[in-house]
Structure 1
């Protein structure tokens, strides 16, 4: 994780972007850097240095930062410049509550349909999780983890709800990456396997209990991490894990 404003050598080099999509490409590039923690929470953003690294004018960078500010990933302060926003525990809590409810219902739909294609996709996903963990490839594992949950969720075919969730996912993904360790990878695999075992057994209550326990376990670790590193969180100073009201269970 880089905490300094520059250099930005982890960003694409000058000349990478197509002329007609520069603003979109810059936005996507900076979003990816923020979500993957290459640009850490609280990091100052040197617009001039970013322009130099990407080989673009100030306009697409300014526009990209404005778009990312709308997404809650960048804070723009007049006369003070821009910074990567701190993660908000309150936002993560709400998103995880949405996930608990929607993924519980998605599992109910999936098990009722007995969709062989989705079962095969989940089998392949579990194998890919174990492979990534064996190589200690946290970034690849994170992407496979997201795909596991997306595979379950797509059984509901609720495109509008998914679009809302995807828009809110960036801050959750940042929070989850903060707690990725070899131990968390192993626990996640075990938790996912418990969910999958419930699916294979066509036991909806078992699968639902497993997915809720998985989300709760992630939240417990995130709350503990926030208590130890409040400087990375916008509401870290007020946050007290022992008094949190996240509805576990």
Structure 2
């Protein structure tokens, strides 16, 4: 289940996703190291709970300790790593309580979003959702995981754009970003099939102009993420904290 099907190779070289940097100024080096480490953490190349070997990062990226230390300090501020006294820096485990909070925010805003869309949906929005769902079906059929992830994001963005409340979209985007690692853990073909089915139910309710059914479908969709994360956490407790 999930993205951790390459664990053996990742364990052999967890820094393999990092690329050597050349010809950048000190400030931009820090930015580049931060971006590379962030990507490695979000995509789980650097697993939750893993201790980060600064010298290995320096060697892999061809940089000194300064930009690595600066980048890790920024990532600590973002809650992606933590400094353990006398031990070093580790990738933050995924905190179930934080996930529940961000999904609560998304549920509160996106349930009301689909209720509003169902009441005042334009043909253009319906057509955009239908086209997105057709591409989701193709991605599921061909097991195109990255493409499906982008289409999943696109489906929710179409709904948020339809209500024309940019501040709401911005808040949802922040919470969605905080869920990136959790989404990667659940990025299995089985989860994608379920996600597509849940999106289909949301679309059907909007198409029927049924705000209550649309809200219920969205609420169930987001609740299922919490349920699956709890099931996964029971299998891999080393990746999570309560």
Is the CA contact 1:5–1:46 (under 8 Å) kept in the aligned structure 2? no
CA distance in structure 2 between the aligned counterparts of 1:93 and 1:16, rounded to whole angstroms: 42
Give a deviation string over 1:47-75, Cα, whole Å, max 9, x none: 12212222333222222211211221111
What residue is the counterpart of 2:241 in the other structure?
A: 234
In the alignment, which residue of structure 1 is the partner of 2:133?
Answer: 126
The aligned residue for residue 204 of structure 1 is: 211
1:242 aligns to what? none
Cα–Cα, structure 1 residues 106 and 228, in superposed 2: closer, same or farther, change >3 Å? same
- Structure 1 Cα separation of the partners of residues 64 and 126 of structure 2: 48
The 3 A distance-change label for structure 1 pair 161 and 78 is farther
Instruction: Return the alpha-carbon distance in structure 1 between the equivalents of residues 142 and 24 of structure 2.
Output: 32
Residue pair 2:143, 2:189 contacting (<8 A) in 1 also = yes
Distance change (3 Å), C-alpha of 1:176 and 1:29: same
Is this contact kept in 1: 2:106–2:175, CA < 8 A?
Answer: no
Instruction: Give 1:213 shift.
Output: 1.3
8 Å CA contact 2:18–2:61 kept in 1: the answer is: yes
C-alpha separation in 1, matches of 2:148 and 2:24: 28
How many residue pairs end up in the alignment? 235
Does 2:52 match 1:49? no
| Secondary structure of the corresponding residue to residue 83 of structure 1 | strand
- How many Å separate the matches in 1 of 2:197 and 2:24? 41
Structure 2 residue ranges without an equivalent (≥5): none
Q: Considering only aligned residues, what root-mean-square deviation do their CA atoms show, in Å?
A: 2.4
- 2:39 paired residue among 32, 45, 59: 32
**Where does residue 241 of structure 1 map in the other structure?**
none
State the match for 2:71 in structure 1: 64
Render the CA deviation track for 1:147-192: whole Å, top value 9, x for unaligned: 2222222334444444444334344221122123222111111110
Residue deviations 1:191-215 (CA, integer Å, cap 9, x gap): 1011011112222111111111111
Distance 2:85 2:170 in 1: 31
Q: Is 1:155 aligned with 2:162?
A: yes
Cross-structure match for 1:103 = 110
Unaligned 5+ runs, structure 1: 236-249
2:179 alignment partner, SS class: helix
TM-score by length of structure 2 reads 0.85
Equivalent in the alignment of 1:15: 22
Higher relative contact order (CA 8 A, sep 6+): 2
Match of 1:77 in 2: 84
Q: Which residue of 2 aligns with 1:180?
A: 187
Matched, 1:190 2:203: no
Q: Distance in 1 between matches of 2:64 and 2:78?
A: 22
Closer/same/farther in 2, CA of residues 207 and 18 from structure 1, 3 Å limit: farther
User: Residue 100 of structure 1 contacts residue 212 of structure 1 at CA under 8 Å; is this kept in 2?
Assistant: yes
Task: Deviation per CA, 1:105-135: give whole Å up to 9, x if none.
Answer: 1112323432344333322321222222222
